[in-house]
Amino acid sequence: MKVVHLCNLPLPAGHPDYGKIQTHPGRWVLNLALAQKARTKIQPILVVQIPGAKVDYQKEVEGIMVHYLAAPDRFRSTTLFYFDARRISAYVRKLKPDLVHAHGTEDAYALAAQATGLPCALTVQGCYFIINRELPPRLFSRGRVVQGTEWLALRRAKHVVVKSSYVKNELKKKFPHLCLHEIPNTFDPRLLEIPIDQPRRMGDLAFVGTMVERKGVHVLRQALEIIRNEYPDSFLKIHLHIFGDRPDARADSYEGREKQALGDLLGNRLILHQTIQGTLLAQELSTIPVLVAPSLEEMFGNQVIEAIMVGTWPIVTEQTAMAENVKDVGFGCCVAQKDPKQLASTVLSKVFEPLVPSVATKARTTILARMGPEVVAQGHLKVYQEIEGNRQVAFLK
């Protein structure tokens, strides 16, 4: 079975626009494709649109063929992604897949998969009808437009893969016609090679992700301010590592303001790493005792799983999929949303606490059993077989 995945993936070093265009750093679809190739008879191909790129580009990435499509980087959402969907779907049809799997409703991929006219599955990894409910955008904004195109895609969809019960329950209420399949993201198997019992830099915290309001960076900053005011001796031992910041962020943007405030607060104890490659990030995390993820909304939280895999204790917020994963795995703790005082107290209780290797190893084993490559590959294969089976029944009728 040939499956084309429409997804995000960082540019490879050989791409003509490498280093010039900022792309989504996530590689979880590549992890899925690697698992499918190794553990099933699926032939996965990735198609990645790169707005702003000048030329199409093909390259094998870790044994998976990836097609990078050039696209304009203006007026995409204002045209309801019509031209993106037409461009991508035409390209995909030339690849002659048996099935198309679109990852995400926040851009053109879901609409493009449906425009191919081929059997398709949709993975929902960030629902704008949920995000906009928590953080209402301006009346005329990309967020509003994307919520509309998401609605169109989900109204037409049938088989949808979700990453958590949290998202599954929300979709069930909003789109009761959907056939929902709960399958978590898998991880890069190379994480298993990173020792869990490495020496930790006591007092160090990690934040992983884009510095946007939804990720709760301001709540983390407020928690650190509380620690400075109430526990000054402990505060002086705390270092904050941020992975995923943008060096070109405008000074008047949310990220710019929060970086300035954190810099004023911590001085040289704020370490900005920008975006780094996945296994390098995991190696960094393996020497940091605590990951802080105070998101106001989160659909899965890959950074939390990767942190647990290398023995880094995650502190996450309730009412998110991250809390679901932490509770299921039994490693990490949850705090109330938008509660910097509770976050400050929890950080202090964990950032100087030595790791118990046996507890961390048990958590890693649990993740392997729940979302290892074999489990996730087989889960997706069952979805594809169900789609194919339904298609054959409909054809016979």
Asked whether residue 213 falls in the same domain as residue 272, the answer is yes
Amino acid at the residue 124? V
279, 190 in Cβ contact below 8 A? yes
216, 200 in Cβ contact below 8 A? no
pLDDT exceeds 70 at position 397: no
Band of pLDDT at residue 396, cut at 50, 70 and 90: very low
Calculated CA dihedral for residues 187, 348, 327, 101, nearest 10 degrees: -30
Calculated CA dihedral for residues 245, 31, 278, 334, nearest 10 degrees: 70
Write out pLDDT tens, residues 158-190.
999 999 999 999 999 999 999 999 999 999 999
Distance spanning both ends of the chain, measured CA to CA: 23
- The structure tokens 């304009």 sit at 72
Question: What are 11's two structure tokens?
Answer: 């540019």
Instruction: Supply the pLDDT for residue 395.
Output: 52
Asked whether residue 223 falls in the same domain as residue 357, the answer is yes
Asked whether residue 177 falls in the same domain as residue 236, the answer is no
317, 337 in Cβ contact below 8 A? yes
Asked whether residue 170 falls in the same domain as residue 195, the answer is no
Asked whether residue 134 falls in the same domain as residue 231, the answer is no
Total Cβ atoms within 10 A of residue 136: 11
C-alpha 90/C-alpha 364 separation (Å) is 42
Asked whether residue 149 falls in the same domain as residue 201, the answer is no
pLDDT exceeds 80 at position 136: yes
The percent of residues in the chain predicted with pLDDT above 90, rounded, is 85
Asked whether residue 258 falls in the same domain as residue 227, the answer is yes
357: Cβ–Cβ under 8 A, 6 or more apart, which residues?
A: 196, 197, 311
Q: What is the pTM of this model?
A: 0.93
- The structure tokens 């990951």 sit at 291
Asked whether residue 276 falls in the same domain as residue 387, the answer is no
Write out pLDDT tens, residues 353-384.
999 999 999 999 999 999 999 999 999 999 99
Q: Tell me the CA distances in angstroms from 329 to 115, 248, 308, one per residue in order.
A: 39, 37, 9
**Burial of 55 by CB count in 10 Å (0-12 exposed, 13-18 middle, 19+ buried)?**
exposed
Q: Tell me the CA distances in angstroms from 221 to 50, 69, 205, 262, one per residue in order.
A: 33, 39, 12, 6
Asked whether residue 144 falls in the same domain as residue 92, the answer is yes
Q: What share of the chain is helix, strand, coil (3-state, %, to 5)?
A: 45, 20, 35
Asked whether residue 195 falls in the same domain as residue 181, the answer is no
Q: What is the CATH number of the domain that holds 194?
A: 3.40.50.2000
Domain interval for residue 340: 189-371
Write out pLDDT tens, residues 200-234.
999 999 999 999 999 999 999 999 999 999 999 99
Number of domains in the chain: 2
3-state secondary structure of 337: coil
C-alpha 35/C-alpha 50 separation (Å) is 24
Asked whether residue 233 falls in the same domain as residue 379, the answer is no
Of 194, 321, 325, 302, which Cα lies nearest the Cα of 244?
Answer: 302
What is the bridge-based pairing of β-strands 57-61 and 64-71?
Answer: antiparallel
Write out pLDDT tens, residues 100-112.
999 999 899 999 9
Q: Tell me the CA distances in angstroms from 109 to 7, 89, 375, 376, one per residue in order.
A: 7, 9, 25, 21
Question: What are 74's two structure tokens?
Answer: 């203006």
Instruction: Supply the pLDDT for residue 393.
Output: 54
Query: Which residue has better confidence, 374 or 276?
Result: 374
C-alpha 320/C-alpha 222 separation (Å) is 20
Of 185, 191, 167, which Cα lies nearest the Cα of 377?
Answer: 185
Asked whether residue 147 falls in the same domain as residue 196, the answer is no
Q: What would the DSSP string read from start to end of 194-254?
A: S-SS----TTEEEEES---GGGTHHHHHHHHHHHHHH-HHHHTT-EEEEES--TT--TTSH
Q: E strands within the chain?
A: 2-6, 43-51, 57-61, 64-71, 99-103, 120-124, 159-162, 179-182, 204-208, 239-243, 270-274, 290-293, 313-317, 333-335
